[in-house]
């Protein structure tokens, strides 16, 4: 390939990856029932190919920056692809493809007619996908705000698609607090703009200096993003919204949407705020994450409904990802381990949690309920989704070999190396608690089925298939440690780890 063609590819591919799903969303709006299965299949193949190509580019060049329309920052908006963005694009592509395949069953239009839920689902899912891809690629703080809003508004709109009363209340709560979080973030951006006169991440990083403006910006943006990511004690809106939403939406929200705001928090802290923060500040997210793991796991242990347990488990698992913050300033070796561990944990959780929600949906489709007591006989009646639930559960508990194990292992080594024994303790206790809350639901599945249930295994087709595929990928992540490391480790911003 000559130099011209090489330059052209990313200049076209980066914006296309961000915008193409939104175009498909508009197509789905216009075509209605005729858009299915055209739009989801196009999305999965085209975005899949684009992300695969981008991964190959990052593999060779480690990072690529594109100035939109040829306008350089600070005037123009820059898109940048690095290992971190690629990892998130890959996770989003994988999870969204699995969910799209599952939703081909759940959100198919009835023969000869059009269902309201199916009409709403496909455009919203495409807009959500576009919003996430934009978050991962954009380097402009205001552009990021708009992308965050596109992502959350699409996600929120989908919570009430099936129109259940409990979902409507959860949806309203989600909308109010997600918007509140965005406003805090935007006020923080105003302070950053006041201080540096720029919105581009790289330009701000060069100009930001210690002072009251910078501190206020750190507090405001961090509060807003913690609220949107549902980190304890700002997690209260998440469990009802994620549990009451229709299953494919639960999987999108828990697997992907919370990772969008978390991604931005990581970008801001590791790239922008590192020079203006002291050691104590880096402890705060880690401490919140520690409480989140224990608190979320304790509540997951008390749930009687599978989807609620999975939602509380999300608030717990998000906590581990923040452990990398205190470890980032512990030393160069620990910082790299914690950074890679954090990203692997995010990927593994995104894929495994989506698999578990899809499995739960397939189980509900057959058994009619996701109550713990109703799971009796599930091993015989719904073997495929139950196997997916257990398999993804292995990754969630952090058992080898799995993506969850790899991420936790890296994090554990960093915590031991840094002498942060409280993090080590929470990593171990949290894994045991995850095993406990998962087994509470898996054990009843082995009991004999109650009277009146069919006695033959039910075929769950694409629903069970999508769940199994994602569960397998969450396990397989554990076998590709060295490529993952080569992709993610170099993306860690320089200068961290010195303390």
* Nearest of 397, 380, 312, 387 to residue 355 by alpha carbon: 387
Give dist(CA 412, CA 341) in Å, integer: 9
Quote the CA–CA distance of 98 and 198 in Å, as a whole number: 39
> Does residue 31 touch another protein according to CB under 8 A?
no
Residues 52 and 6: their CA atoms lie apart, in Å, by: 15
Min dist CB 193 to another protein, Å, is 6
Coil, helix or strand for 79? Answer: strand
**Site for another protein (CB under 8 A): how many residues?**
28
In the bound state with another protein, the residue whose beta carbon lies nearer, of 194 and 459, is 194
- Nearest distance, CB of residue 160 and another protein, angstroms: 7
CB of 155 to another protein, least distance (A): 11
Minimum distance, C-beta of residue 395 to another protein, in the bound complex (Å): 34
Q: Which is nearer to another protein, 63 or 149 (CB)?
A: 149
Residues 137-196 binding another protein (CB under 8 A) are 142, 145-146, 149, 153, 156-157, 160, 163, 165, 168-169, 171-173, 175-176, 179-180, 183, 186-187, 190-191, 193-194
Residues 6+ apart with CB under 8 A from 487: 55, 58, 59, 83, 86, 87
Tell me whether residue 197 or residue 332 sits nearer to another protein (CB atom).
197
Of residues 378, 384, 379, the one with CA closest to residue 459: 384
Residue 212: count of CB within 10 angstroms of its CB: 9
Q: Are 470 and 355 in contact (CB under 8 A)?
A: yes
Mask: binding to another protein, 373-412, rule CB under 8 A, as x and -?
A: ----------------------------------------
**CB of residue 73 vs another protein: minimum separation in angstroms?**
12
Show the CA angle centred on residue 202, arms to residues 201 and 205, nearest 5°.
85
- Rank residues 180 and 435 by Cβ distance to another protein and give the closer one: 180
- Minimum CB–partner distance for residue 168 and another protein (Å): 5
CB of 240: closest distance to another protein in angstroms?
10
> Rounded to the nearest 5 degrees, what angle is found at the Cα of 138, between the Cα atoms of 269 and 13?
140
141, HSE (Cβ side, Cα atoms, 13 Å): 29
- CA-to-CA distance for 480 and 406, rounded, in angstroms? 9
Which helix (H) or strand (E) is 170 found in, with range? Answer: helix 165-196
Q: Shortest Cβ distance from residue 209 to another protein (Å)?
A: 17
Structure-block tokens of residue 409? 């292992």
List all residues 6 or more positions away from 102 whose beta carbon is below 8 Å from its beta carbon.
247, 248, 251, 358, 361, 362, 462, 463, 466, 467
DSSP, residue by residue, 297-330: HHHHTT-SBHHHHHHHHHHHHHHHHTTHHHHTTS
Of 121 and 409, the one with the shorter C-beta distance to another protein is 121
Looking only at residues 249 through 288 of this chain, which bind another protein when binding is defined by CB under 8 A?
none
- DSSP, res 200: B
List the x/- string, 48-67, binding to another protein by CB under 8 A. Answer: --------------------
Q: Which is nearer to another protein, 253 or 293 (CB)?
A: 253
Shortest CB 265 distance to another protein, Å: 19
Min separation Cβ 156 and another protein, Å: 7
Q: Based on CB atoms, which residue is closest to another protein, 6 or 215?
A: 215
Pick between residue 1 and residue 75 the one whose CB is nearest to another protein: 75
For another protein, the closer of residues 166 and 373 by Cβ is 166
| Smaller CB separation from another protein, 62 or 179 | 179
How many other CB atoms sit within 10 Å of the CB of residue 197?
A: 11
* Residues binding another protein (CB under 8 A): 142, 145-146, 149, 153, 156-157, 160, 163, 165, 168-169, 171-173, 175-176, 179-180, 183, 186-187, 190-191, 193-194, 197, 199
């Amino acid at each position: 390939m000559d130099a011209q063609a090489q330059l052209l590819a990313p200049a076209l591919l980066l914006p296309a990856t961000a915008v193409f799903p939104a175009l498909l969303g508009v197509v789905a709006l216009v075509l209605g029932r005729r858009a299915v299965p055209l739009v989801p299949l196009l999305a999965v193949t085209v975005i899949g190919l684009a992300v695969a190509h981008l991964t190959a580019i990052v593999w060779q060049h480690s990072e690529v920056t594109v100035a939109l329309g040829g306008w350089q920052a600070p005037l123009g908006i820059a898109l940048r692809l690095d290992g971190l963005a690629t990892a998130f694009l890959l996770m989003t592509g994988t999870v969204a493809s699995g969910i799209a395949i599952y939703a081909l069953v759940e959100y198919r239009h009835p023969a000869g007619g059009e269902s309201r839920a199916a009409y709403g689902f496909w455009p919203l899912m495409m807009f959500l996908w576009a919003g996430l891809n934009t978050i991962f690629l954009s380097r402009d703080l205001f552009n990021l705000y708009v992308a965050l809003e596109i992502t959350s508004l699409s996600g929120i709109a989908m919570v009430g698609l099936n129109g259940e009363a409990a979902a409507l209340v959860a949806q309203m709560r989600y909308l109010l607090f997600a918007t509140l979080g965005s406003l805090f973030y935007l006020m923080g951006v105003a302070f950053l703009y006041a201080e540096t006169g720029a919105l581009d991440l790289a330009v701000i990083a060069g100009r930001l200096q210690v002072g009251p403006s910078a501190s206020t910006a750190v507090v405001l943006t961090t509060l807003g993003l913690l609220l949107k990511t549902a980190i304890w004690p700002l997690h209260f809106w998440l469990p009802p919204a994620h549990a009451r939403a229709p299953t494919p939406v639960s999987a999108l929200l828990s697997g992907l949407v919370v990772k969008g705001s978390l991604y931005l928090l990581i970008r801001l802290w590791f790239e922008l705020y590192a020079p203006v923060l002291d050691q104590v500040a880096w402890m705060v997210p880690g401490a919140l994450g520690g409480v989140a793991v224990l608190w979320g796991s304790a509540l997951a242990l008390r749930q009687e409904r599978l989807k609620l347990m999975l939602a509380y488990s999300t608030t717990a698992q998000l906590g581990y990802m923040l452990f990398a913050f205190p470890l980032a300033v512990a030393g160069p070796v620990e910082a790299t381990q914690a950074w890679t561990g954090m990203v692997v944990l995010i990927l593994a959780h995104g894929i495994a949690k989506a698999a578990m929600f899809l499995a739960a949906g397939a189980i509900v489709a057959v058994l009619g309920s996701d109550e713990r007591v109703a799971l009796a006989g599930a091993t015989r009646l719904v073997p495929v989704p139950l196997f997916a639930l257990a398999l993804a559960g292995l990754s969630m508990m952090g058992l080898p070999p799995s993506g969850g194990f790899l991420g936790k292992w890296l994090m554990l080594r960093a915590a031991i190396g840094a002498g942060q024994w409280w993090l080590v303790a929470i990593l171990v206790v949290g894994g045991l608690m995850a095993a406990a809350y998962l087994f509470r639901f898996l054990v009843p599945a082995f009991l004999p089925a109650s009277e009146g249930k069919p006695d033959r295994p039910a075929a769950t087709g694409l629903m069970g298939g999508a769940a199994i595929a994602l569960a397998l990928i969450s396990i397989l992540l554990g076998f590709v440690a060295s490529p993952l490391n080569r992709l993610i480790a170099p993306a860690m911003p320089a200068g961290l780890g010195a303390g």
